[in-house]
């Protein structure tokens, strides 16, 4: 009978907007006898399932879903203890797949992805904590998280990535809160938007954090003092045109090892990690004690 050493569990979110996950599973069943499909039925189940599988001794676990499902599995592996060395593989699907793009997985065909999952040596990726919530790619405080809070599942199903743009246009006028950012090596800053990157990408293909590396033990942080159209236009100018934020009024870009964000007026301001709402201010960002082992094509 196949055991944890031979089986490779695939945690599948069947509610993912894209049909890519379902098609991949059909192909995988023909491609490898080691694939064991485990479908989730409720929010949070991917996390508990990943923790159980890691504790059972599975050296490799795969997630088929969007960034939200990936984040659940990452937190499940952290719950079980990353010192176990259980490695994560990703089959991209869902509304967003930012971490898969960062790893170079999104553009790969299934045979290459599965070959890496079965045969490659895991690569260590920095894992960060926003208080009790772990994340591998991005986090945000303020308008960014507020947009996610007001993007419904029905909108994601209907409009895909465009749903965040629709919600953003609406919340840009409504959102009023500001926060105080206290980061290692920086003077305290007041901001309306705080964007945090472990990798370069944010929101899909956009390389918002030009200096970010997945294994440098540094957080890349972008601060917008205001969230008006002018500030967002300057942000786009920085990452899309000049690849730098130097000299752009109202925008700060820096790297840090630790950071705390609190409300400027005592109101709880939303926080998101890897594209899903997590908690609210005050929140502290710290490096997790152990990196996350990840399986990806070279």
Q: pLDDT tens-digit profile of 190-230? A: 998 999 999 999 877 789 999 999 999 999 999 998 876 67
Confidence (pLDDT) at 276: 87
CA-closest candidate to residue 24, choices 101, 103, 112, 99: 112
Whether 168 has a pLDDT exceeding 60, the answer reads: no
In terms of pLDDT, which residue wins out, 148 or 115? 115
Whether 46 has a pLDDT exceeding 80, the answer reads: yes
Residues counted in the chain: 298
Percentage of the chain beyond pLDDT 70 is: 83
CA-closest candidate to residue 199, choices 191, 190, 208: 208
Percentage of the chain beyond pLDDT 90 is: 53
Tokens of 44: 């949070």
Cα angle vertex 71, ends 92, 24, to 5°? 20
Distances (CA, A) of 34 to 27, 48, 117: 13, 22, 11
Whether 148 has a pLDDT exceeding 90, the answer reads: no
Confidence (pLDDT) at 216: 97
The whole-angstrom distance between residue 207's C-alpha and the CA centroid of its chain comes to 14
Could you give all domains of the chain from N- to C-terminal order, each with its CATH number? 8-120 (3.40.50.10330), 133-287 (2.60.200.40)
pLDDT digits (tens, 9 = 90+) for 221-234: 999 988 766 777 78
Residues 105-121: what's their mean pLDDT? 89
**What pTM was estimated for this model as a whole?**
0.88
Residue 99 burial by CB count (10 A; 0-12/13-18/19+): exposed, middle or buried? buried
Highest mean pLDDT among 147-156, 234-243, 250-259: 250-259
Range name among 25-34, 151-160, 230-239, 270-279 with the lowest pLDDT average:
151-160
Confidence (pLDDT) at 203: 79
Whether 147 has a pLDDT exceeding 70, the answer reads: yes
pLDDT digits (tens, 9 = 90+) for 67-94: 889 999 999 999 999 999 999 999 887 6
Computed over every residue of the chain, the mean pLDDT equals: 86
Residues 177-196: what's their mean pLDDT? 94
Identify the sign of the CA torsion 287, 119, 116, 73: negative
Q: Confidence class of residue 1 from pLDDT cuts 50, 70 and 90?
A: very low
Residues 6+ apart with CB under 8 A from 96: 66, 67, 161, 203, 204, 275
């Amino acid at each position: 009978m196949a055991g944890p050493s031979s089986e490779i569990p695939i945690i599948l979110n069947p509610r993912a907007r894209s049909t890519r996950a379902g098609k991949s599973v059909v192909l995988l069943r023909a491609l490898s006898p080691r694939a064991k499909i485990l479908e989730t039925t409720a929010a949070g189940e991917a996390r508990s399932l990943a923790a159980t599988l890691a504790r059972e001794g599975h050296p490799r676990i795969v997630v088929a879903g969007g960034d939200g499902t990936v984040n659940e599995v990452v937190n499940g592996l952290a719950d079980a203890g990353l010192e176990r060395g259980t490695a994560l593989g990703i089959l991209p699907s869902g509304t967003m797949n930012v971490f898969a793009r960062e790893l170079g997985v999104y553009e790969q065909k299934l045979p290459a992805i599965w070959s890496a999952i079965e045969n490659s040596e895991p690569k260590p990726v920095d894992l960060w904590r926003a208080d009790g919530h772990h994340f591998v790619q991005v986090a945000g405080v303020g308008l960014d998280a507020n947009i996610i809070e007001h993007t419904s599942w029905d909108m994601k199903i209907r409009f895909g990535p465009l749903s965040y743009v629709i919600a953003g246009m609406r919340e840009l006028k409504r959102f009023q809160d500001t926060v105080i950012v206290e980061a290692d090596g920086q003077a305290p800053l007041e901001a309306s938007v705080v964007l945090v990157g472990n990798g370069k990408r944010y929101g899909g293909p956009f390389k918002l954090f030009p200096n970010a590396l997945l294994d440098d033990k540094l957080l890349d942080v972008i601060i917008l003092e205001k969230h008006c159209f002018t500030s967002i236009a300057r942000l786009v100018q920085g990452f899309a045109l000049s690849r730098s934020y130097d000299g752009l009024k109202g925008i700060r870009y820096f790297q840090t090892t630790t950071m705390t964000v609190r409300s400027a007026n005592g109101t709880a301001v939303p926080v998101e990690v890897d594209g899903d709402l997590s908690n609210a201010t005050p929140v502290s960002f710290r490096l997790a004690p152990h990196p996350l082992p990840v399986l990806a094509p070279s």
